[in-house]
A and B are shown apart, each in its own frame.
Chain A
C-alpha cells in the first residue's frame, strides 16, 4: 500500500522520488477507509519536502454506506481554502479509478490541531472554548458567503448524490429534498420506521422562511473541526458538501451538540450569541424554528444513505457485517426525531 501511494504521489506531483512511511488507519468514520501517513517528496529541483498526509479511499462498492464521489471531493478541496479562507485540507492527489490503490481515493494534507473537542468542555482547554466557538461561527459565515461560481464552476455540487435535487429556487430545493426523502423511504425502508416518515411529512408542512442558496459543508458536526490556540485550524470531511441552504450546517451542529452536550453555539457571546453573530456576519436571519427545521432536514438526509445500505445488505447484495451493526445506531437515531417532533412520553401501562 505504501508503495502504491508513493507511485500515485510521484506521478501526480511530478516528483523525482516519494517515500511513504508510517501508514496507519484512522478509525474516524464508516463511510471511507482513512489512513494517515507521511511522505518525503523529492521534487524535480532536488528539494525534499516532508508532507503529513491523509488517504481517503472508497470501500468496496457493494458495501459502501455513503455514495459520495472522490473526484468531486478532490476538485472541491483544490478550491475551497482559497475561495473561502476557511482552513480546509489541500488536495494533493486523486486516484479516481483506483488504478494505484485498488479503489477510488484521494490524498489530502493532514492539518494541525486537536480533533477531540472534549478538552474544551471542562477539560484542559476550557479557557479556549469561547474563542474557538466564536471562530467557528466566523468560519461558517465565510463558508456561507463564498462565491458559488468559484467553488462550483461546473455545477457538480448542485446534486452530488444524484438525489433529483432541484436548486433552481429555494422552495424547489427544499421541496425536492423532502420529496427525495419520501421516495427513498418507500424504496428502502427495510422495516417500517414510522417516525422517519412522520418527520418527512412534518417538514413538508412546516417550511421555514426562505434564504439564499449557497455553499453548504454538509457534515458540520463537532467531530469535523480541529483547533489549536483558541482558533479553528481545520474543517475536515467535505464529502457531503453541496449547494443548499446554509442553515443546514447550523442544523447539523445544533443536532450533534445537543446529543453530545458540547454546546459550541452556547459558548459564543458576541452579538447576543451564535445565531445573532452569525446573522450579523451573513445577513441570514436564523430563528429557533429555522434551526429545528434544518436539524431535522440534515438528520433525515444523513440517515437515508445508511438505510439504503442496510437494505442492500438484507437484499443479499453483499455480506458485510457492518451494515447489520448500523441498525443499532439507526434505532438510537429515532429518538432525536421523536423529541424534535414533540412525541409524548409514554409508559407500558398507559
Chain B
C-alpha cells in the first residue's frame, strides 16, 4: 500500500496548510481557538500513528508478564482479591504478539522491496518478449498480488468517495 507520504507526514502537511492558509483567514475568536485545538489533536495523531501498533503489541506482552509474575508470587494467597487477579489473568486474550518492527525500519524495507519488485516486472516482461515460457504465468502471479495491493489502497488509503473537490 501507499507508504510515501506516510500517515504521519500527511497529518503534518494538513497541519501546515491549516496554519499557513486557513488560520490567518479566520475572523472569530471561537474559530481561532478551535483551529488551535485541531492543531493540537493532529499533532498528537502525527506522533502516535508511527508507534501505536508497535507499542500496543509490545505492551500486551508486558502486561501479561506482570500478571503472570504476580499470580506466581501470590500462588498461596486464597483471598478474594488474589482470586480476582488469577481470574483476570485467565481471561486475558489468548495471544502473544510477535514484536512489530519500528515503523521507520518497516517503512524503509517495504519501500525498497516494492521498488525492486516493480523493477522485476520489467525483467519478467523482457523475458516474455524473449519467449521465456514461464514468464506470462509469473506476470500473472505478480498481477494477482498487485490486485490485492490495489484493493487495500482503495479500502484503506482512498477516501475520495465524495468526488473530486475543486474540479467542475
Contact = CB atoms under 8 A, between A and B. Distances in A.
B146 A195 contact: yes
A346 interface: yes
Interface stretch (B26-34, B96-104, B147-155): B147-155
Contact of A314 (B4, B21, B121): B4
A341 interface: yes
A193 B151 contact: no
B146 A319 contact: no
Task: Determine the interface band of chain B, counting residues with CB < 8 A from chain A.
Answer: 35 or more
A169 B117 CA distance: 34
B10 A194 contact: no
Interface of A: 26-30, 182, 189-195, 197-198, 201-202, 204-205, 314, 319, 321-322, 324-325, 327-329, 331-332, 334-335, 338, 341-346, 348, 350
Given A194-B114, A328-B159, A342-B143, 16 more contacts: A26-B168, A27-B168, A29-B167, A192-B118, A198-B125, A198-B139, A198-B143, A204-B129, A319-B16, A327-B5, A332-B158, A335-B150, A343-B143, A344-B147, A350-B144, A350-B148
Given A192-B111, A201-B122, A338 B5 contact: no
Given A321-B21, A324-B13, A191 B153 contact: no
A322 B165 CA distance: 10
Contacts, number: 111
7 contacts: A191-B4, A192-B118, A197-B122, A198-B143, A201-B121, A343-B143, A346-B147
A170 B144 CA distance: 33
Contacts of B154: 331-332, 335
Contacts of A29: 167-168
B104 to A, nearest CB: 16
